[in-house]
Amino acid sequence: MSEHHGGPAWLVLPTYNEAENVEPLVDAARAKLPPGAQVLIVDDSSPDGTGEIADRLAAQHENVAVLHRPRKEGLGPAYIAGFRAALAGGAGLVLEMDADFSHDPAYLPRLLEAAKRADVVLGSRYVAGGGVSDWGPLRRAVSRAGSTYARLVLGVDVRDLTGGFKCFRREVLEAIDLDQISTRGYAFQVEVTYRAIRLGFKVVEVPIVFRERRVGSSKMDLKIVAEAVWRLPLLRRYTF
Contact status, residue 81 vs residue 15, Cβ threshold 8 Å? no
Q: What's the rounded Cα separation, in Å, for the pair 19 and 26? A: 12
Q: What's the rounded Cα separation, in Å, for the pair 144 and 130? A: 12
Contact status, residue 103 vs residue 11, Cβ threshold 8 Å? no
**Domain span holding position 192:** 4-235
Instruction: Select from 191, 108, 106 the least CA-distant residue to 156.
Output: 191
Contact status, residue 46 vs residue 15, Cβ threshold 8 Å? yes
**Tens of pLDDT along 91-142?**
999 999 999 999 999 999 999 999 999 999 999 999 999 999 888 888 888 8
User: Does 192 reside within a domain?
Assistant: yes
Q: What's the rounded Cα separation, in Å, for the pair 120 and 201? A: 7
Contact status, residue 217 vs residue 107, Cβ threshold 8 Å? no
User: Does 240 reside within a domain?
Assistant: no
Burial class (CB in 10 A: 0-12, 13-18, 19+), 200: exposed
| Per-residue model confidence (pLDDT) at position 1 | 33
- Total tally of structural domains belonging to the chain: 1
User: Does 10 reside within a domain?
Assistant: yes
Query: Quick one: the chain helix, strand, coil %, rounded to 5?
Result: 40, 15, 40
CATH code assigned at 60: 3.90.550.10
CA 200 to chain CA centroid, nearest Å = 20
User: Does 9 reside within a domain?
Assistant: yes
**Tens of pLDDT along 178-193?**
999 988 877 899 999 9
Q: How many residues does the chain have?
A: 240
Q: Where does the pLDDT of residue 232 fall: very low under 50, low under 70, confident under 90, or very high at 90 and above?
A: confident
Share of the chain above pLDDT 70, in %: 90
